Amino acid sequence: MKRLYRYLIPMLGLAAAGCSETSPSLDDATATGTLTMKVSTRSETSSAEYDPMEHLTVSICNSDGKPIRKYTSESGIPERLELLAGAYSVSVEAGEKAAASFTRRFYKGEEPFTVTPGANTPVEVTCTLQNSVVEAVFDETIAENFGSEFEVRVMPGASYDESRADAASTLRYTENAAGYFTLDEGVDALSWRFSGTHASKGAVEKSGTIPEVRTPGKYTLTFRYSPDLPGFIEAVAILVDDDTDDFDDTIIWSPDPTIEGDGFEISETQRYLGGEKRFLITTVKPTTAATLTFDGKPYDLLAAVSTPTAGLAVVKTAENALTVTLSDDFFTGCPGGDHALRIEATDNGGGNGSAECIFALQGVLAPSAADYDLWANTVTLRARVFDPSVTTVTFGLRTKNGSWQELPGTNAGSETWTATFSPEWTESSNESGLTVFTPKAGTGVRADGEYECRAMFGERESLASFATAGGQSIPGGDMEDGTMSCFTINNQTTPFWGSGNNNYMSAIIGDQLTRLCTQQEKCGSKCALLASQTAAGLLAAGNLFSGTFVKPSTQGTVGFGKDYDWQARPRALRLKYHATIGTVDMTKYTDASGNHPIAAGQPDRAIIYVAIVDWDAPHNVSSGMSAPSGMWDPSTATSQAEGPVIGYGRFVIKESTAGDEMVDKELEIFYYDRVTKPSKPCKIVISCSANMYGDYMNGCSTNRLYIDDFQWVY
């Protein structure tokens, strides 16, 4: 039942000359002060509970008792009201007058105050409840004997009058509840009647009176049933002293701490160009806590009185007053843009106040995802500059703790300077004599990176940091999904990975463990095993690739190339492998020179490559009982008939892996084209073969290649 509502009206008297330190003396007849009125709730009530503040009247009267101002809502009360110096009174009414109600109640209070030029005059108005409260409490014996067939009616008067049982001044209780009564002048008693239907006793009634009712005052009626009681019902009426904690139902109008800007409106955005900014905090009672929060970081202002922070000075001018000064050092290193500052203060009287101010700072703005392109590896830095004397801005970019790259800024208008950082490239020639490019470390921006940026103008340096979005994954690159097409003989259509497994091989060998590509476990992780085989006297290379495989007859065709939504340009392809490489023991077809691409008796090789392509359709390579066709190598040509090769990475495995562990390997990607982002249906090729020249059916029939964990490196 305890409810304590607190509302705020601080009275602040100021000399008419404003903030001047040498204000002229004023004649008492013309001197003015300012009455500042703010209404705020200190302790909240349930949203479902009646709110008397929705029915508010505040009146200000002069010393003659004549009303000079009247307000009928919280929103209508002005922030500041100028009054002549002198004596006044404020009266407050909240709630509604009702003869009887379970929710509506009425409060009233009045307090004199004096407006004095140049003085701070707070006033506190205690609004007391103007109702008499009757709470009905039903002992558990009532429900046990009457179920829901009972009620209590309470009405004003010394005796219960049946003719007024349904009047507006009568309340009907059917459960534990408190009701509020407004008694007419001369009425000082409340009467009640209990009525119910007992299962065996029939109708049961009992009446009573509460004499000498006080306003405010609370009376609790407790009802219980017993067959030994006269009339079977006992009703005990208890007056709860309204001076105790059991009945605290008042509204207190009291000043909360005030927080103001010294010479500026705290509600307006402050375009900070340097110097000092001061905030004045005033509490009615001694200040017990004060906190400044800037960009989410809190500062204890009372602690800062004795232990200053760089750029933050706090002076305690009185037990209830603080002056907070911010200077250049406080904002050093902050990025540009709008920054939220919030000050909160409390006093030992339970008052609390807060204020917010936005500081607009010059400097570099923290980049967002819209500012960078992870395929082009570019980022546009922006700085907010509103000082008209600034004519040059220099931008800097670096990886976290790396070396700075610098560019001069361009004035883009609207108080914004910009500079776009692009990657630098290293040019070289590959083994085929083709020109290729690799991105230079520490230039541009890449996926999953942490960066720092800055803007410098004059003597000022502004810093910000940002992280780029994470990189992309390769579908099924961890080889954990044993249902992928590459591990089956159904590779005519594939989501991504395919292999040369086919019905023809299964029919000849009959054991899936001897398929060209199977899921195995090695070093505690699932992986792909590429196992070369022989069938019908021919070599079948163990293989895995992004594409499809069809074998309608004795000739099989791989369709290299899959769609891929490129968002970030990779620097390399990382994977794990373990290889067993033997001696060439099978040869079949020759290359364009008329020779076998690798001779019998020579150490065989395996190969892994990746190609970023922009093809209209998959590139087909066929081999089998007829001569192979369509063979290609991304390191020897910048395009195929289907479209250009944007870049590639290639790893030739020339010897067996030592030990039994998987080995990490990165395939650096060399770019032919530094600009184009693939947009056609086929955008990526990854190919792994246990025999480098398996298309020619040349190689070692016992080669084994374990592959796992394909990932991009940025």
Find the range with the poorest average confidence among 43-47, 154-158, 444-448, 610-614: 43-47
- The whole-angstrom separation of Cα 652 and Cα 579 is 11
Q: Phi-psi category of 536—alpha, beta or left, where left has phi over 0 and alpha has psi -120 to 50?
A: left
Dump pLDDT digits (tens) for 609-665. 999 999 999 999 999 989 999 999 999 999 999 999 999 999 999 999 999 999 999
CA 625 to CA 540: how far, in whole Å?
A: 11
Decide if 588 contacts 608 (C-beta within 8 A): no
Whole-number Å distance between alpha carbons of 558 and 550: 7
* pLDDT reading at 164 higher than 90: yes
For residue 412, pLDDT beyond 70:
yes
Mean pLDDT: which of 55-69, 206-220, 231-245, 296-310 is highest?
296-310
Confidence band (pLDDT; 50, 70, 90) for 267? very high
Kindly report, residue by residue over 475-526, the tens digit of the pLDDT.
Answer: 999 999 999 999 999 999 999 999 998 766 655 555 544 689 999 999 999 9
Q: What is the DSSP letter of 414?
A: T
DSSP 311: T
What distance lies between CA 70 and its chain's CA centroid?
Answer: 45
Amino acid at 74: E
CATH class of 132-239: mainly beta
Summarize pLDDT for 91-113 with one digit per residue, the tens: 989 999 999 999 999 999 898 98
Question: Quick one: average pLDDT of 146-171?
Answer: 95
Spatial neighbors of 463 by CB under 8 A, at least 6 apart, are 333, 334, 335, 363, 364, 452, 453, 454
Here the tokens at position 17 are 């000359």
% helix, strand, coil for the chain, step of 5: 5, 50, 45
Count CB-CB contacts under 10 A for residue 694.
25
Peptide bond into 216 cis (omega under 30): yes
Backbone conformation region of residue 670, classed left if phi is above 0, alpha if psi is from -120 to 50, else beta: beta
The answer to whether 662 and 651 are in contact (CB under 8 A) is: no
**Is domain 258-361 annotated with CATH 2.60.40.10?**
yes
User: Is the pLDDT assigned to residue 23 strictly greater than 50?
Assistant: no
**pLDDT surpassing 50 at residue 548:** yes
Cα-Cα-Cα-Cα torsion 587, 589, 594, 599, nearest 10 degrees, comes to: -20
Give the rounded distance of the alpha carbon of 450 from its chain centre: 20
- Which of 117-131, 597-611, 642-656 is predicted least confidently? 117-131
Helix (H/G/I), strand (E/B), else coil: 243: coil
Phi–psi pair at 143, nearest 5 degrees: -65, -35
Q: Is 53 helix (H, G, I), strand (E, B) or coil?
A: helix
**pLDDT bracket for residue 1 (50, 70, 90):** very low
User: Are 540 and 532 within 8 A, CB to CB?
Assistant: yes
**Mean pLDDT taken over the chain:** 88
Strands 321-326 and 663-668: unpaired
Residue 27: predicted pLDDT: 43
Structure tokens at 88: 């006044």
Scanning the structure block, which residue is given the tokens 């340097």?
274
Structure tokens at 73: 């809502």
Phi-psi region of 202 (alpha: psi -120 to 50; beta: other; left: phi over 0): left
List residues bridging with 193 in a β-sheet: 153, 207
Burial class (CB in 10 A: 0-12, 13-18, 19+), 325: middle
What is the C-alpha to C-alpha distance for residues 556 and 516, in angstroms, rounded to an integer? 13
CATH fold, domain 363-467, is Immunoglobulin-like (2.60.40)
Radius of gyration of the chain (CA): 43
Specify the higher pLDDT residue, 17 or 546.
546
Longest CA–CA separation in the chain, Å: 127
Q: What is the mean pLDDT of the segment spanning 411-435?
A: 97
The strand pairing partners of 671, in sequence order, are 437, 647
In angstroms, the CA 562 to CA 491 distance is 13
For the cut 60, the answer to whether the pLDDT of residue 166 exceeds it is: yes
Torsion of CA 568, 574, 575, 581, to 10 degrees: 130
CB 475 within 8 A of CB 485: no
CATH code given to domain 485-713: 2.60.120.890
Of 219-228, 340-349, 356-365, 387-396, give the lowest mean pLDDT range. 219-228
| Alpha carbon distance 168, 171 (integer Å) | 8
pLDDT of residue 254: 56
- How many Cβ atoms sit within 10 Å of the Cβ of residue 241? 11
Give the span between the Cα atoms of 31 and 396, in whole angstroms: 59
Q: Residue 371 phi/psi, 5° resolution? A: -95, -10
Task: Tell me the sheet residues that pair with 670.
Answer: 648
Residue with the bigger pLDDT between 114 and 428: it is 428
CA atoms of 307 and 321, how far apart (whole Å): 18
What is the C-alpha separation between 358 and 339, in angstroms, rounded? 6
Does pLDDT of 230 surpass 60?
Answer: yes
The DSSP call for residue 29 is T
Nearest 5°: the CA angle 174, 139, 98 is 40
Continuous segment of H or E residues that includes residue 509: helix 503-509
Selection from 423, 333, 437 nearest residue 379 by Cα: 423
- On whether the CB atoms of residues 549 and 558 are closer than 8 A, the answer is yes
Q: Are 372 and 468 within 8 A, CB to CB?
A: yes
Taking only the tens place, the pLDDT of each residue in 572-597 is 999 999 999 999 999 999 998 999 99
